[in-house]
Every structure is written in structure tokens, then in C-alpha cells.
A = this chain, B = another copy of it.
Amino acid sequence: MVSQELVTMLGKRLPPGRVVTDPEVVAGYARDQAALAPYGTALAVVRPQDTEQVRATVAFCAEHGVPIVPRGAGTGLSGGANALDGCVILSLAAMDAIVQIDAAERLAVVQAGVVNDDLRRACAEHGLWYPPDPASAPWSTIGGNVATNAGGLCCVKYGVTRDYVLGLEAVVGRGEVVRLGRRTAKGVVGYDLCGLMVGSEGTLGIVTEITLRLRGTRPAERTVVGYFDSLTDAGEAVSAVTEAGVVPSALELVDRYCLLAVDEWKRMGLAAEGEVLLLGRTDTPGQAGEDETDTMLRCFERAGATWSTRSTDDAEAEALFAARRLAYPALERLGPVMTEDVCVPRALVPEMLARIERAARDNDVHIANIAHAGDGNLHPLIIAPDDEAVRVRVERAFDQIIDDALALGGTVTGEHGVGLLKRRGLHSELGPAVVAMHEAVKNALDPAGIFNPGKVFGSPTS
């Protein structure tokens, strides 16, 4: 069937205006924020307003073998939401209702398109807190966070998105609407299919509604700031904090290159102070929190901080963390950012940072770094060069970093997801037997083969 006919037929199954074919609009949905990831041309963008419209779309696509690429805000960094030729882009952005916040049960029910920060604000009004805080929180949706099992700054103490997903509604298979998981605090009936959907990057179905576990309001945080002469010194401080038994509520690393990018944008003067900034926080209340702050400061000093202090000014501490969150968009102002997302055991952070420096030297490129250092999740990154020869060297350096992370017992993606860019890494990390298990599960739950096909564990050359 020619594609125009298909789109017309799909349009008849949905209310007017839900299927968009204007080529310019469709092109605007063609890719996420992963620089250099390939993308194709979609047939159409579908913007459902409710689960029934998602169901109708999935049923139609299953009937006609049309691939579906689900999409939240498109802030992903691995090409997971990139269009495939002849696909339907299913944008959940219009399904943005906060259905319920239940203070007594400490849970929220939200549609997939709710923006992370909007949910966090709504929870705060009830004295509740939804912890997962990816740097994209002002824009990214809970549905997208669920698809990638998003992390963030507070994960080092409070875990990632999967730890907060109690249940969900999804459209699966050939258009069945199912509820997975639960609303109760505990429950062990059957397989954890809810947890399986989290982080499956749209390859197993379309998540339409999510039931999230919440926490009570976070206690006030104390902040420790340190500047270091080198990445490895800062890495030693991170390792020392872990060994001292402190679980910080955040432990973030930003290097001079990233600080300069923020300075250039926001005029904060951050880069004047040193090469590498380390920001530690604790939200443990009372004397125990005081003690943890002292311990962190001592760890910073002993690891060779050129300057370190307890921040006594909340506004200043907030500004530093705001700068950390702005590092990625600040770099994006300078050009498409190529980023890695390796995660290594915490004690090996200094070793991994040293290996990143070596990979840069070996391939004669400059690699910048931001990191959720406290959980070993490092983001070496670079502004994609125009020069093709330089780009080849960058890619070689990044391949070396991936190999090093795996050699240290790490993973190729700590929080960004596999999408298109990390497929080769996935195969190296998991090996053929585990990939075969993935394929078996994918084939079992996606019999029509329509959900984001080729992403995650598809062949990297496809």
C-alpha cells in the first residue's frame, strides 16, 4: 500500500487533527538530541490525547506493519526517539495530565506526557517529592524518563526512575491496553513486567500512564564545594567519600571546559577558580548531616583540593548546582555535543578518569567532562568537530573509553539509554546469550514487530 493511503486510513480512525503530515512539522519530530545519530523520514506524526487514541494507532500499525517510534519531549541523547523510514512518530506530549496525587499513599498517577519538573512542583504543593532529576527535568517527560529509566543528580542516594515506578498502563502487542504493576506498597503476583517496560526504550509497547511512588519533602541540604588541579585528584576525592561510608545526596563533577561554556553563557565566573569543580551534598538531617559534611570536606582536602569549603550561602550553592545542570545546554550552544555515558564501580572513578585523559592524549583530541561522580557515571564529551579527520579521532577516543569502561567492570550506558548510538556497546557488554534472551522477549511481546524496531539491540549497522 502506498504510504499516503495508509496515512489517510489512519486519519479516519482518529479524531481530526491528531495525524499530522505537514513535512516541516514531521521533520521537526525526526530526531532527539543525540548528535550524529542517524534518522529517517516518518510517514506522519500522531498526537494522541488519550489511551483510546493510542490503542487505535497501535492496532492500525500492527495490522499494516507500520513501525511506531514513541516520543516524549525529544531530549534523549542516544537516538532512541529518532524516526525510522516509513514510521509513525507517536508523540505523547499532549497526554500531560497529572491524574492524581495521593498524599496518604504517597503516590502520583500521571499521563506519559507530563514534564518532570511540572510533576515535581505539583508534588511539592502536597509536601511530597518525586526524586528522579535528570538534567533535562525542565523539558523531559515522565514517559520519556520511564522509557530510558532516567537517572539524575540525586540518584546516588535515591535511585533512578525504575525505583519509583509502581505501576503503569501501556498499549502492547496488537493494541491491547494493559495495567502492569500495582498501587500497593508490596506485591509479588507474577513477573515484574512493569519493571521490564521501564528502560525498554519503546521497544515493548507504548506507556500511556504511570503510577509513581513519592517521598516526603526532602530535608534541607548542606553543600561542600571543592576545586582541584586535575581530574584524577577530583576522582580520588570521590573515591574517598565512598570509602568513608558517606552516601551523599549529590556528588557532581564539572571540568573547566564545561565551566567556561557556562560562564560564556551566564557570566558566572566559575572557571576562574580552578580546573575541576566537585560539588558534594548531603540531606541527612541533624548532627549526622553535620558529620557527613565534615567528612566530605576532609576527603576533598586530603585528595588535594586547591580550594574547598562548606557553602554557608544557600543561594550560592543553588547557583553552583544550576550551573552543573546548565553545562550540557551551554555546550550545545557551541555545536552538536557528542557525549559518552559510561558508569564504573565507584572506587574506580579515578582510574576511569585517568583513562579518559589517556584516550584524549592517544588520539590527540580534547575531551571535556561532567559526571555524576558519586555513582561512577561519567560523561566525557566533545563538541563535534567539522573536520572529518578530527571526527574520526574523536570516535576512536570514544571507542577506547567504552573498552576501558567495560574492562573496569562498567557499563556503556549509565542513564542515557542505548537507542541507536550504544548498540555496538550493548552487544560487547551483554554477549550473545543475553542478547538472545532480549530478542526472545522482544519477539514474544511485540509479535507484530512494530515497536521502535532496530533500536537498542538491533544490529548497529542496520
Contact = CB atoms under 8 A, between A and B. Distances in A.
A70 interface: no
Interface string A410-450: 11111111100010011001110111011011011101000
Contact of A188 (B195, B345, B414): B414
A186 B415 contact: yes
Given A245-B216, A345-B105, A438-B193, A413 B184 contact: no
Contacts of A163: 163
A188 B429 CA distance: 11
Contacts of A284: 285
Contacts of A182: 411
Interface string A159-179: 010110000000011001111
A204 B187 CA distance: 19
B376 A414 contact: no
A89 to B, nearest CB: 22
Contacts of A245: 127, 216
For this chain, the copies found in one complex come to 2
A242 B216 CA distance: 11
Contacts of A372: 186
Contacts of A192: 149, 162, 192, 195-196, 198-199
Given A184-B376, A456-B190, A457-B190, A440 B434 contact: no
Given A105-B347, A186-B415, A286-B287, A434 B375 contact: no
- Size class of A's contact patch? 35 or more
B377 A185 contact: yes
A346 interface: yes
A74 to B, nearest CB: 18
Nearest to A409: B183
A105 B375 CA distance: 10
Nearest to A439: B444
A418 B198 contact: no
A178 B286 contact: no
A143 interface: no
A422 B198 contact: no
Nearest to A429: B189
Most B Cβ at <10 Å: residue of A127, A185, A422, A440: A185
A154 interface: no
Nearest to A289: B286
Contact of A415 (B155, B188, B191): B188
Nearest to A155: B186
A173 to B, nearest CB: 8
A200 interface: yes
Interface string A88-105: 000000000000000111
A180 B430 CA distance: 8
13 contacts: A105-B242, A105-B346, A148-B188, A173-B437, A178-B434, A180-B434, A187-B343, A187-B414, A189-B422, A190-B435, A191-B196, A195-B195, A195-B196
Given A186-B377, A189-B412, A191-B441, 11 more contacts: A173-B437, A176-B433, A178-B434, A186-B411, A188-B414, A189-B429, A190-B438, A191-B200, A192-B192, A286-B287, A441-B445
